[in-house]
């Protein structure tokens, strides 16, 4: 079972693409919409599909992502933003990887960033994670698929999945804990999985990028991970080069 979690707030203009891309998947799945009490037609659009809709005020995106996760108790878990969509055919390969290896906890691949009118901007390929370290990479979270049991270990360790006090980088902390601390078995596949629109919290202005880098540095320090400064320098270089 693939559990796809989407958090939304006033996403009427973009969520249709997300819903349609999930609806077309040819295997067993749940699509959970965690809506922050939208005042537009978001829920009207979502109600046209076989999505499970939960409505609750939240304290921000990571609080909403935690709430969405609370509705899951097994299977594979993925987060899909309300303005992004899966590239047709890509998720069958992801599920095949899990089906072929019961010990595999994490699968991730590439994302395509698009600008206005869906124009291609760049591809992010987090292929350089080696020796159990992120090595300056961050996996764009819509292209990350994780077994529920591995995520449950993170919750048992922290008391939460995502730190809702962080503005931009709680998903980076989750990846650090899975790959560098828990040392789960993971696999990168060189496949375009998701189309993402530019403009999210971590892909916007330089000021937001700077905040993200600071958060990532503090995350590495508080988790006692190796070389926090070197890792962030690598991350800055990769951001600047577009990889």
Q: Are residues 80 and 108 in the same domain?
A: no
Q: Are residues 129 and 62 in the same domain?
A: no
User: What is the pLDDT, as a whole number, of residue 237?
Assistant: 60
More confident residue, 206 or 201: 206
Q: For residue 240, tell me if it sits in a domain.
A: yes
Residue with structure tokens 């979690």? Answer: 5
Indicate the residue among 86, 110, 131 that finishes a domain. 86
Q: Are residues 36 and 116 in the same domain?
A: no
Query: Measured between alpha carbons, how far is 55 from 36 in angstroms, rounded to an integer?
Result: 6
Q: Are 89 and 24 in contact (CB under 8 A)?
A: no
User: What is the pLDDT, as a whole number, of residue 136?
Assistant: 75
Which domain covers residue 125, as residue numbers? 102-144+165-243
Q: Are residues 82 and 32 in the same domain?
A: yes
Query: Measured between alpha carbons, how far is 34 from 14 in angstroms, rounded to an integer?
Result: 15
DSSP assignment of 40-101, as one string?
SSHHHHHTTTT-EEEE---SSHHHHHHHHHTT--SSEEEE--TT-EEPTTHHHHHHHHHHH-
* Single pTM value for the model: 0.91
Q: For residue 159, tell me if it sits in a domain.
A: no
Q: Are residues 28 and 122 in the same domain?
A: no
Q: Are residues 118 and 202 in the same domain?
A: yes
114: exposed, middle or buried (Cβ count in 10 Å: 0-12, 13-18, 19+)? middle
Q: Are residues 114 and 22 in the same domain?
A: no
CATH number of the domain where residue 65 is located: 3.90.550.10
Q: What is the DSSP letter of 117?
A: G
Kindly give, in sequence order, each residue whose CB lies less than 8 Å from that of residue 128, ignoring residues fewer than 6 positions away.
135, 136, 137
Alpha-carbon distances of 50 from 47, 95, 115, 151, rounded to whole Å:
7, 20, 29, 25
Q: Are residues 130 and 211 in the same domain?
A: yes
Query: Measured between alpha carbons, how far is 236 from 149 in angstroms, rounded to an integer?
Result: 32
Q: For residue 151, tell me if it sits in a domain.
A: no
Q: Are residues 11 and 116 in the same domain?
A: no
Q: For residue 96, tell me if it sits in a domain.
A: no
Mean pLDDT of the chain: 91
CA proximity to 6, closest of 64, 86, 75, 88: 64
Q: For residue 95, tell me if it sits in a domain.
A: no
Q: For residue 94, tell me if it sits in a domain.
A: no
- The H or E element that residue 31 is part of is strand 29-35
Dump pLDDT digits (tens) for 97-132: 999 999 999 999 999 999 888 889 999 988 877 777
Q: For residue 64, tell me if it sits in a domain.
A: yes
Alpha-carbon distances of 13 from 68, 82, 84, 142, rounded to whole Å:
21, 10, 12, 19
Alpha helix segments (H runs only) across 88-184: 90-100, 148-158, 170-176
Dump pLDDT digits (tens) for 46-103: 999 999 999 999 999 999 999 999 999 999 999 999 999 999 999 999 999 999 999 9
User: What is the pLDDT, as a whole number, of residue 126?
Assistant: 86
Q: For residue 185, tell me if it sits in a domain.
A: yes
Q: Are residues 24 and 115 in the same domain?
A: no
Q: Are residues 186 and 138 in the same domain?
A: yes
Mean pLDDT of all residues in 18-27: 96
How many structural domains are present in the chain? 2
Q: Are residues 137 and 68 in the same domain?
A: no
Dump pLDDT digits (tens) for 175-185: 999 999 999 99
């Amino acid at each position: 079972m693939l559990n796809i979690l989407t958090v939304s707030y006033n996403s009427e203009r973009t969520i249709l693409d997300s819903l349609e891309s999930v609806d077309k998947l040819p295997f067993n799945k749940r699509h959970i919409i965690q809506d922050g009490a939208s005042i537009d037609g978001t829920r009207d659009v979502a109600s046209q599909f076989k999505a499970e809709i939960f409505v609750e005020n939240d304290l921000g995106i990571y609080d909403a992502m935690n709430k969405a996760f609370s509705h899951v108790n097994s299977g594979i878990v993925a987060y899909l933003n309300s303005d992004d969509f899966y590239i047709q055919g890509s998720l069958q390969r992801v599920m095949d990887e899990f089906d072929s290896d019961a010990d595999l906890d994490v699968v991730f691949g590439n994302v395509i960033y698009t600008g206005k009118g869906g124009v291609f901007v760049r591809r992010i390929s987090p292929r350089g994670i080696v020796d159990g370290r992120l090595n300056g990479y961050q996996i764009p979270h819509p292209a990350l698929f994780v077994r529920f049991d591995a995520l449950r270990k993170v919750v048992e360790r922290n008391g939460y999945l995502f730190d809702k006090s962080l503005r931009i980088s709680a998903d980076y902390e989750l990846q650090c804990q899975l790959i560098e601390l828990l040392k789960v078995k993971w696999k990168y596949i060189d496949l375009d999985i998701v189309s993402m629109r530019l403009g999210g919290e971590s892909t916007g202005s330089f000021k937001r990028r700077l905040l993200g880098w600071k958060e990532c540095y503090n995350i590495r320090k508080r988790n006692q991970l190796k070389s926090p400064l070197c890792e962030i320098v690598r991350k800055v270089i990769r951001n600047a080069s577009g990889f």
